[in-house]
């Protein structure tokens, strides 16, 4: 009975406000399968609600084609975004920290005289993925920085990929508010925040940067959004910057494309999305990845990034080039002709502040990086 009361109430609110469906968590909470959930979805599906509003996160509209797909973003108290510090001493995760308890980072060794790296996982993942700890260890070994891993498992672990896509906007804003508060409490400027995202995580980072301008750097290991969405109807390839990570989201945005779909395969995005876009081995079909190893190309992006920190004698020097054909034919302009020179893909890419599409080859096996001054000829 009580539940039905809520249901009626919700529909009335949906109708009376025309296109605003108030689904704020403070009004009702039935979990993922409760009536509020269904009302919200049905309301969206019927096209009655063009936005949902979640308290201090504000409203999320679905007026753009890329934000339409049926499901509204989940409320923050169902996504349960947490922030997980990794301590330099024991390399263990802190207990999960909620957005409202920013000051707790100081209990876990947060140092306010150095920068901050935040790591974002992708679809169906959590902060416990192995690549997250590999990356964190590599960063702690080589750099002096605070590391905070964003976990949005409950929002990313949706069988329906499009639902997870919708949730990226909510998580992005939550992280933005967390960073704003952390920056105020620690006086670390926004430009000293570096967000690193894999797959959908890169778009979460993008939405963070779009909501809070001035973030120092966003690194994207291969974007997973858009091209994989063909089944959703409208083509997402070539979507506008409001739909994805783009260069306006941070002072410097670098992307590593390892699984672009030149022939309709691959789950990555091929178009440029940053200041500096790297296309190792053409940006698709990484060497020694076989077609039956489904995530091999996709995973190579973070393996390259981690290697850029692990092997000091090795690098991923790249060259500015208009396209892959020109790269294979060896007709790219030389490093001196380009203002940004030949940046090294990976952690140190920001040193050149280069702008454009950059090509390089890698070894077939670990280490994939190339000894300095050793160039790899086309095989």
Residues catalogued as catalytic? 199, 230, 298
Of 251-259, 269-277, 321-329, 368-376: span binding ligand NAG (CB under 6 A):
321-329
* Region for residue 359 given its phi and psi (left: phi exceeds 0; alpha: psi -120 to 50; beta: otherwise): beta
Based on the number of CB atoms within 10 Å of its own CB, is 203 exposed (0-12), middle (13-18) or buried (19 or more)? buried
Residues 246, 241: Cα–Cα separation, whole Å: 6
**Could you say whether residue 330 binds ligand NAG (CB under 6 A)?**
no
* C-alpha pair distances (Å), 149 with each of 128, 175, 204: 9, 11, 13
**Could you say whether residue 113 binds ligand NAG (CB under 6 A)?**
yes
Q: Of all residues in the chain, what percent are helix, strand and coil, respectively (each to 5)?
A: 40, 15, 45
Based on the number of CB atoms within 10 Å of its own CB, is 372 exposed (0-12), middle (13-18) or buried (19 or more)? exposed
**Could you say whether residue 160 binds ligand NAG (CB under 6 A)?**
no
CB of 109 to ligand NAG, least distance (A): 7
Which of 19, 65, 134, 158 binds ligand NAG (CB under 6 A)? It is 134
CB of 107 to ligand NAG, least distance (A): 13
Which of 137, 181, 191, 328 binds ligand NAG (CB under 6 A)? It is 137
**Could you say whether residue 133 binds ligand NAG (CB under 6 A)?**
no
Q: Measure the CA dihedral 186/190/192/196, to 10°.
A: 110
To which H or E segment does residue 169 belong?
helix 161-186
Which of 5, 47, 322, 330 binds ligand NAG (CB under 6 A)? It is 322
Given a contact cutoff of 8 angstroms between Cβ atoms, the answer to whether 284 and 266 are in contact is yes
User: By C-beta, is 113 or 187 nearer to ligand NAG?
Assistant: 113
**Could you say whether residue 310 binds ligand NAG (CB under 6 A)?**
yes
Using only C-alpha atoms, the chain has a radius of gyration, in whole angstroms, of 21
User: By C-beta, is 82 or 84 nearer to ligand NAG?
Assistant: 84
Which of 63, 295, 323, 334 binds ligand NAG (CB under 6 A)? It is 323
Which of 326, 335, 340, 363 binds ligand NAG (CB under 6 A)? It is 326
The binding site for ligand NAG (CB under 6 A) comprises 111, 113-114, 134, 137-138, 141, 144, 310, 322-323, 325-326
């Amino acid at each position: 009975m009580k539940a039905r009361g809520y249901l009626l109430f919700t529909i009335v609110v949906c109708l009376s406000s025309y296109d605003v469906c108030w689904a704020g968590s403070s009004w009702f909470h039935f979990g993922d399968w409760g009536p509020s959930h269904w009302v919200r979805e049905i309301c969206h599906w019927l096209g009655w609600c063009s936005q949902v509003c979640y308290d201090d996160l504000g409203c999320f509209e679905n007026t753009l084609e890329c934000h339409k797909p049926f499901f509204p973003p989940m409320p923050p108290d169902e996504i349960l975004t947490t922030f997980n510090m990794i301590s330099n001493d024991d390399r263990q995760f802190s207990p999960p920290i909620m957005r409202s308890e920013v000051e707790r980072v100081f209990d876990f060794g947060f140092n306010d005289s150095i920068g901050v790296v935040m790591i974002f996982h992708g679809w169906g993942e959590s902060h416990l993925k192995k690549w997250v700890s590999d990356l964190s260890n590599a960063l702690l070994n080589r750099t002096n920085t605070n590391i905070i891993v964003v976990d949005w498992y409950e929002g990313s672990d949706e069988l329906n990929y499009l639902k997870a896509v919708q949730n990226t906007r909510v998580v992005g804003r939550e992280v933005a508010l967390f960073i704003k508060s952390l920056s105020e409490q620690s006086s670390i400027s926004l430009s000293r925040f570096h967000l690193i995202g894999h797959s959908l995580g890169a778009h979460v980072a993008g939405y963070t940067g779009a909501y809070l301008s001035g973030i120092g750097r966003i690194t994207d290991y291969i974007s997973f959004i858009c091209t994989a969405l063909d089944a959703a109807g409208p083509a997402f390839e070539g979507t506008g910057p409001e739909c994805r990570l783009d260069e306006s989201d941070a002072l410097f945005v670098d992307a590593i494309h390892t699984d672009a779909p030149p022939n309709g395969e691959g789950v990555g995005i091929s178009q440029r999305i940053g200041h500096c876009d790297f296309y190792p081995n053409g940006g698709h079909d990484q060497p020694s990845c076989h077609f039956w190893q489904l995530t091999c190309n996709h995973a190579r992006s973070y393996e390259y990034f981690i290697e850029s920190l692990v092997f000091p004698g090795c690098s991923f020097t790249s060259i500015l080039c208009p396209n892959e054909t020109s790269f294979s034919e060896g007709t790219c302009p030389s490093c001196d002709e380009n203002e940004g020179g030949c940046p090294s893909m990976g952690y140190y890419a920001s040193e050149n502040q280069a702008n454009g599409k950059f090509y390089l080859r890698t070894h077939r096996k670990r280490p994939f990086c190339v000894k300095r001054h050793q160039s790899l000829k086309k095989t």
